[in-house]
Amino acid sequence: MDKDQLQRFIFDDFPIRGGVVHLNAAWEAVQARHEYPEPIRQLLGEMLAASALLASTIKYRGVLTMQIQGSGPVTLLVAEYTHEHSLRAIAHWQGTPAGGLRQLVGDGKFVITIDQGDQQRRYQSIVPLAGESVTEVLRNYLRQSEQLDTELWLVADTACAAGLLLQKMPGDSSDVDAWGRVTQLAATLATDELLAIDNMTLLRRLYHEENLRIFDTQPVSFRCKCSRDRVRNMLRALGTEEVNDVLTKEGVVSVRCEFCNQRYDFDGVDVEQMFAAPLSPDVPRTRH
């Protein structure tokens, strides 16, 4: 069974490319870290599939972050996807949210960040949230930012998050019906088919009459990039006063990673050592 895999492909006879992704164990690992209310779970699954598909269209080394910042009961949805095909996600919400994207998020922003480790190669795009679903939001974003016709389908349930993307590349083709044909074929897929059928079978079923070039399968996994060192650096950047305040009150400084729930504890000795050495240059000196 084809699980946790991203597949890129292009058509040989006309300038159209695509990607298809299925997330199973990686998606289950995300859900195991937090109990998400059903509508939020749905959005997060779709965003994770979307982030994998978006990553498949971009060359980068680092982390691609897809964020929806909301003004409704759901204030934040984050999906991260690295060039090494690892992912993680979180959501912030209040109460018991219900409804579709608009009811959940209200007016919001759609933020794409590509962090490649230094400021020069950092890319960020912030646009108003346009669309009634994650699919529409991303489709509108891609059409505007890349000026490329893009179609995509995203689905998620508790066992699987999946998606299919098709993108019309610049260039002419004598086959003027190609875009209509390949997108219509994809649109015939029912939600449960997209969820259940593995990448290769799906591509064969849809496009057996086309010359399709399929690239190497990319295995996808859940991985959090938090570490004791990163948390220590974050605390050092907060400053000795603030950290010692917490230590005095609580007896220990305890930080829990939102993405993976890992807890990092620092006692009096740890805190003393933390501020004994000079701050390393890559630590941000200010926050906010």
- Measured from the CB of residue 3, what is the shortest distance to Zn ion in angstroms? 23
CA dist 101 and 164 (Å) reads 20
- Measured from the CB of residue 65, what is the shortest distance to Zn ion in angstroms? 15
- Which positions touch Zn ion (CB under 5 A)? 224, 226, 257, 259-260, 262
- Measured from the CB of residue 110, what is the shortest distance to Zn ion in angstroms? 24
How distant, in Å, are the alpha carbons of 63, 171, 202 from that of 224?
A: 12, 39, 30
Asked if 220 contacts 52 with a C-beta cutoff of 8 angstroms, the reply is yes
Place of tokens 């066992």: 159
Identify the CA nearest to 42 among candidates 132, 157, 159, 152: 157
How distant, in Å, are the alpha carbons of 14, 136, 139, 166 from that of 143?
A: 19, 10, 6, 12
Asked if 48 contacts 68 with a C-beta cutoff of 8 angstroms, the reply is no
Comparing CB distances to Zn ion, the nearer of 20 and 257 is: 257
Comparing CB distances to Zn ion, the nearer of 31 and 262 is: 262
Comparing CB distances to Zn ion, the nearer of 8 and 33 is: 33
- Measured from the CB of residue 222, what is the shortest distance to Zn ion in angstroms? 10
Comparing CB distances to Zn ion, the nearer of 22 and 88 is: 88
